[in-house]
Amino acid sequence: MAIKLNSGFEMPIIGLGVWRMEGKDIKDLLLNAIKIGYRHFDCAADYQNEVEVGEALAEAFKTGLVKREDLFITTKLWNSDHGHVVEACKASLKKLQLDYLDLFLVHFPIATKHTGIGTTGSALDEDGVLDIDTTISLETTWHAMEETVSMGLVRSIGISNYDIFLTRDCLAYSKVKPAVNQIETHPYFQRECLVKFCQKHGIAITAHTPLGGSVANTEWFGSVSCLDDPDLKGLAEKYKKTVAQVVLRWGVQRNTIIIPKSSKSERLEENFKVFDFELSKEDMDLIKSKDRKYRTNNPSKFWGIDLYA
């Protein structure tokens, strides 16, 4: 299954996120994912593993496992490179060993002190607070993103972690409309108004952290996972699926693109098996009632400032 973007290209509705994947494990994981059926991979300069992802992709192409045109590759512009968009894009392409990106996203709607192309530093000031660059507007950043399209480096461009206000502004000043807004959304953080606003205006939603972060965000941010919810466990028993499969299926039925992350082969396969059942309207409504407006991924822990405040 795929969603047609406003750029005319199709984006597979399920992908594999490579955040926190260790370099030494990436090749086997990605090659196995391709064999399972994954055709969409979500990367970012900040994940510091584009080189390893590129090596895995190169092997997949070389061995004939898959062709470049069969894959949808996303990566993201880091905060410290807002003033160097084209250079950062080229740096990511080089690491990924690709001629073009299917999707290039502004990772966060904030420019920070430049630390060198692709270094993805998060420089802190003398008070231990993120060193925000107030000289670069998001409009300036976006017009540079548009250049990557006109140069043929990128097929579609988009935004990430943008709220309704910032998304509306981007629609107003853009010549090339954002094709995607990648946001945290899951049963405990549904963000229905933002999802509907974007979809109404032709912007597809990609759900990062579609399982509520699970172990990864519990370790980093001390958050609670929706996978432990008793009602969701009940639905899993009803459909004879795992809780994760039920939650991912809910995301698919919301018409959102889902990019669950896993470093375990058996979970990769499990997460991909969400197309052989359908949640009833009653059960979709039950999950809708579980919303806690609960964000699990908040980098304020590292930045000394809550950008969502």
Spatial separation of the C-alpha atoms in residues 204 and 292, rounded to whole Å: 23
Cβ partners under 8 Å of residue 207, min gap 6: 182, 183, 184, 185, 186, 251, 256, 257, 258, 259
In order of 76, 100, 144, the CA distances from 126 in angstroms are: 28, 39, 30
The verdict on whether 47 is a catalytic residue reads: yes
Cβ partners under 8 Å of residue 291, min gap 6: 187, 188, 189, 190, 192
Collapsed DSSP state (helix, strand, coil) of residue 8: coil
Catalytic residue among 47, 188, 294, 308: 47
Of 260, 81, 286, the residue nearest 185 (C-alpha):
260
Q: Which residue has the tokens 């880091």?
A: 78
- Among all residues, which ones are annotated catalytic? 47
